[in-house]
Chain A
């Protein structure tokens, strides 16, 4: 079809082509109008707004050029938030991937209770993050929490600035591990069974097979999951917003970039500054995604 339409561009349209053009545009029109209004225009609008300062009481916009970006680059709170976001992602992403990978490999066989395990591991995916955050906050409670009771400790999991961000990342791992596992299980279906049979005849054990067969052949899925999880982890908001109180002493060392974006835009009502923060985040995500893609080329397209 594609070649045909290229060769006849100079000629008059056949009625079939005319039809496809009319129906095609009619079918994409609702989506395209929606996307342009809801998404494409807002991208440019956000970038434009990042050059403005929102006046008091949200009135009037004052053009201030790159001032918001200068403020961001000179603001230790933003750099701390960026560091917090990285810390969160550096814990959440590798652990949620590694645990999910092991679980997927263990479940990738005929066994009793396979469906039940899968259902249980996936359960946090269908729970409201607000509810998940609340129950974990309760589990982490330093005086009455179940966790300190079991461990026999008195740890301030979420109010000690040096560990709070990791405590939140643990909730993130718990929430996402089942989702990653299901993606890996789907990827594992594509690895031929004979590879494993052949290698066990050669005397390889399960652990050898995991590193020599599973990991290399699953690497496209692993990279896909890693990229989407890094992007997701860098956008963490719900958990931090729900777990960290405004007067929590660890908030400064836990708040993420998206949390600051929310605060600036909708609590402090400085939408210009909020826009600049989100553009800053966009640039960081783009850089990291490009770096990951480069790594991916090196590792498995050989």
Chain B
């Protein structure tokens, strides 16, 4: 019996060693980003000796990129992009999800098949016409242009429809007997019950708006979010890695901090909503 316990302990230790090695692999790029951001160019390109830690923790790289790239504006643009897409997407998807999940009306199946159809095609197929629309409206290079393609969401509609379908059947009947019309039933009884679905969709939308690169690159040259600004910066300072890493770190930190605070909601929001597709 004792040897079996010992064997179990050895296995557990082995598993931990493996998981720690994987953790290191996942963390090294972030750590290296941070270490490089504090170095001088000379330190970062020194080979003999290879410099791991900066000789002193210099913040010049950060102050330089904050000023040169105007980071406060980039943060505001990214925040507006995220807020715009999250508010529009959650609002429209909650309403449509309720109608598709709980109401019966002619044309419902046809409309829902359009929603499903949208989810099955690769997203790049929408981009040229979307760009031409934004361009014809004369709103290229605005916050509206950034938000535009994410104003409605087929995926979110599907996700919230699933959430509404999971609610008990007699809720509406009870509300109707109490004299609520359909709008009141939705607003006061049904929508509040799907709060977790809305939060999931909100986080999912926020993270993917923040990560979106191609669309901001295409339609915005001056009013840029963080992702596009990093891409532009790489073209300009191609070999000043300490500054590139300082900018990357500044771009990543707000989302990482939010993630560390709301880990559970983030992981559930992103992964489990992805898993329900």
Contact = CB atoms under 8 A, between A and B. Distances in A.
Interface in B146-186: 148-149, 151-154, 157, 181-183, 186
Interface residues of B, number: 100
Contacts of A107: 19
A131 B248 contact: yes
Contacts of A128: 210-211, 213, 226-227, 230, 248, 251-252, 255
Contacts of A28: 95-96, 99-100, 108, 111
B266 A106 contact: no
Interface string B225-253: 01110110010001001001100110110
Contacts of B27: 120, 123
Residue among A32, A99, A274 with max Cβ neighbours from chain B (10 Å): A32
A146 interface: yes
Nearest to B271: A182
A271 B153 CA distance: 25
Interface in B120-152: 121-133, 148-149, 151-152
Nearest to A9: B106
B96 A32 contact: yes
B275 interface: yes
A135 interface: yes
Interface stretch (A75-83, A111-119, A160-168, A191-199): A111-119
A21 B251 contact: no
B66 interface: no
Given A34-B151, A242-B231, A20 B103 contact: yes
Contacts of A141: 241
Contacts of A183: 271-272, 274-275
Interface string A116-147: 01111111111111111011101101011010
B50 A149 contact: yes
Contacts of B129: 41-42, 45-46, 49
B56 interface: no
Contact of A46 (B125, B182, B227, B241): B125
Given A38-B152, A43-B125, A117-B23, A186 B103 contact: no
A205 to B, nearest CB: 10
Nearest to B149: A38
B103 A117 contact: no
Nearest to B256: A126
A72 B47 CA distance: 45
A242 B25 CA distance: 21
A74 interface: no
A126 B244 contact: no
A20 B105 contact: yes
A138 B47 contact: no
Interface string A153-191: 000000000000000000000100011001100110000
Contacts of B234: 130, 134, 242
A122 B211 CA distance: 15
A278 B98 CA distance: 34
A278 B252 contact: no
Interface in A249-302: 258, 261-262, 265-266, 271, 274-275, 278-279, 281-282, 285
Contact of A282 (B125, B181, B258, B263): B125
Contact of B108 (A24, A120, A228): A24
A123 B256 contact: yes
Contact of B98 (A27, A119, A206, A224): A27
Contacts of A126: 207, 255-256, 258-259, 266, 270
A143 B45 contact: yes
A237 to B, nearest CB: 6
A24 B105 contact: yes
Interface string A12-48: 0000010111011101101110111111111101100
24 contacts: A19-B181, A23-B183, A24-B99, A25-B99, A30-B96, A35-B154, A39-B118, A46-B126, A112-B16, A119-B263, A119-B267, A120-B27, A121-B26, A126-B259, A128-B213, A131-B251, A135-B32, A138-B244, A141-B241, A144-B45, A182-B271, A206-B11, A258-B124, A271-B132
Given A27-B186, A128-B213, A258-B124, 11 more contacts: A23-B182, A25-B105, A35-B114, A42-B130, A126-B255, A130-B230, A130-B231, A146-B28, A174-B25, A174-B29, A266-B131
Interface of B: 11-12, 15-16, 18-19, 22-23, 25-30, 32-33, 36, 44-47, 50, 91-93, 95-96, 98-100, 103-108, 111, 114-115, 117-118, 121-133, 148-149, 151-154, 157, 181-183, 186, 207, 210-211, 213-214, 217-218, 226-228, 230-231, 234, 238, 241, 244-245, 248-249, 251-252, 255-256, 258-260, 263, 266-267, 270-272, 274-275, 277
